[in-house]
Amino acid sequence: MPERLTEMLMDTWTPLIILWITVLPSIYMAPMNQSQVLPSGSSTGLKRLTEEQRILNRSKRGWVWNQMFVLEEFSGPEPILVGRLHTDLDPGSSKIKYILSGDGAGTIFVINDKTGDIHAMKRLDREEKAEYTLTAQAVDRDTNKPLEPPSEFIIKVQDINDNAPEFVDGPYHATVPEMSVVGTFVTKVTATDADDPVYGNSAKLVYSILEGQPYFSIEPHTAIIKTALPNMDREAKEEYFVVIQAKDMGGHMGGLSGTTTVTITLTDVNDNPPKFAQSLYHFSVMEDVALGEPIGRVKANDLDIGENAKSSYDIIEGDGMDIFEITTDAQTQDGVIRVRKPLDFETKKSYTLKVEAANIHIDPRFISGGPFKDTATVKIVVEDADEPPVFSSPTYLLEVHENAAINSVIGQVTAHDPDVSSSPIRFSIDRHTDLERQFNINAEDGKITLATPLDRETNMWHNITIVATETRNHSQVSRVPVTIKVLDVDDNAPEFASEHEAFLCENGKPGQVIQIVSAVDKDDPKNGHYFLYSLLPEMINNPNFTIKKNEGRYKMYVICVIFT
């Protein structure tokens, strides 16, 4: 309180002191010069100055600078008297001429060459120029010879509080995390004042908040903005508009002020768990849905944003954990339920799942407010689809002997309609796989019969496709491959592998091999071929040749040679 009272007294007396300085300028003279700077006034002032000079002359220390003061922005009908130059050599006979040179001499400052009075001809602005350095000299009016060395002095422009504080960097934008404790740093603002920071309180600034309380506070002298309320919630209010004032004169009455705005945005923290929009979801799906197809979406909403709102989904319970899967849509943050395995209405008509949504990024500061997850129940109903017929086997292999009779039954295929309605089935052969129409099929029971004779030696394998069609819906069609193997029967005589022509020298010896013969058979008996060789009847009685088996082959030998 005493400090405050002192400041108020200073603010009250400062303008009066400035005015006194303007009307009666203070004059300081260097003792080494005989010239004096006198204020305007009576001879009493001159006597007082002489006394002061006498005191100064006794001091061992000399004055280095002479100074005058003029109040800025001061104007009137007449030029302002700044001060007076005077020398002891002036007897008052008007033989002394005063000359002024330096900053603004002759334009801003004019000297009366007879009296030494200096006047300011213009209104001055300290913020443009704070001081002027001039040189004064006394010369003989007749000869213009210097009567003493030149004397340099300064005219200082005395500051008044004519500039309001300015926020050159405003308006400001700042962020602070939501739920911050009281006193958390937000930002710092800065105002500048063009007035003299040294003289008086014209540039002494004090900061305050005009708008934005009670949420934020500002330190009066450092301009640091901090939070003033705990647990401000972004989800309740995200943005605050704060008005800051900077006031000079130490914030006292009569001071000038400037304002700026600070837009403060609360940034998000993960202080909210995900929450399903509903506790129970119902979906239906056709039993013939393709694997991987989405059948429904669930959504857990999170009041947070960005990374803090991201959740992952899982199936944690249920009778379809191996049938279905759930993934997270990165764009919408939905949980997408898909089919992993084929569905069958006739086997299982519904499923119940329990799904969970959990935040990916947990802030340990708010873990006590958890758990940061939620669950919901999903009921999935499987609907019956008109499915095509199903064959009893994915493939069929049939065997038939090549000598089978026409219209004999080779084999049978069976199929059924898996739907509850169980439509009758009709069978047919895809003739693109049986161009020669070798086979027929009974449309009612699926029995396959022989239509034309078979020849294993010509074609041992036949591959045909059987088509099963629902009679109630001809678009429901299934196909199955049928492979028919033709079995061999002994219906071909052996044949010599090649034609033989033997030559024998006339001196051939008995027992000499003259030819090896072999035979082939188009048939393919299970135990392999066994051939018996013999000479033609007309050769049986020929005593010269015989045929014998030797190591699986037959050799013709010479028994005797008859020479004629």
Distance CA 249, CA 205 (A): 7
| 80-87 and 294-301 strand pairing | unpaired
Domains observed in the chain: 67-158 (2.60.40.60), 166-267 (2.60.40.60), 275-383 (2.60.40.60), 390-487 (2.60.40.60), 493-563 (no CATH)
CA 350 to chain centre: 40
- AA identity, residue 167: F
Beta carbons within 8 Å of 158's beta carbon, 6+ residues apart: 18, 21, 22, 69, 70, 71, 72, 126, 199
Closest CA to 189 of 162, 223, 217, 221: 223
Distance CA 359, CA 369 (A): 13
Distance CA 325, CA 330 (A): 16
Return the CA Rg of the chain: 61
Distance CA 15, CA 21 (A): 10
The 3-state secondary structure of 314-347, one letter per residue: EEEEECCCCCEEEEECCCCCEEEEEECCCCCCCC
Closest CA to 299 of 376, 192, 396: 376
- pLDDT, residue 113, reads 84
Structure-token match 């009921």, residue found: 379
On the CB side of 125, CA atoms within 13 Å amount to 5
Q: Is the bond into 371 cis (omega within 30 degrees of 0)?
A: yes
- pLDDT, residue 521, reads 64
Residues 450 and 489 sit within 8 Å (Cβ to Cβ)? no
Distance CA 256, CA 374 (A): 58
Please provide residue 537's backbone torsions phi and psi, each rounded to the nearest 5 degrees.
Answer: -50, -40
Structure tokens belonging to residue 497: 């592998």
Positive or negative CA dihedral for 86, 91, 92, 95?
A: negative
Residues 186 and 178 sit within 8 Å (Cβ to Cβ)? no
Residues 136 and 100 sit within 8 Å (Cβ to Cβ)? yes
Closest CA to 132 of 102, 106, 107: 102
Distance CA 397, CA 481 (A): 9
The 3-state secondary structure of 149-179, one letter per residue: CCEEEEEEEECCCCCCCECCCCCEEEEEECC
pLDDT in tens, 178-190: 999 999 999 999 9
- pLDDT, residue 30, reads 33
Beta carbons within 8 Å of 289's beta carbon, 6+ residues apart: 295, 339, 343
Q: Is the bond into 171 cis (omega within 30 degrees of 0)?
A: yes
pLDDT in tens, 109-146: 899 888 888 888 888 887 788 889 999 888 888 888 88
Beta carbons within 8 Å of 433's beta carbon, 6+ residues apart: 463, 464, 465
Residue 257's CB is within 10 A of a number of other CB atoms, namely 17
On the CB side of 144, CA atoms within 13 Å amount to 1
The low-confidence residues of the chain, meaning pLDDT below 70, are: 1-66, 90-93, 490-493, 496-497, 500, 518-519, 521-533, 540, 543, 549-564
Distance CA 303, CA 313 (A): 17
Beta carbons within 8 Å of 451's beta carbon, 6+ residues apart: 406, 407, 437, 438, 439, 440
CA 291 to chain centre: 31
Residues 233 and 215 sit within 8 Å (Cβ to Cβ)? no
- AA identity, residue 314: D
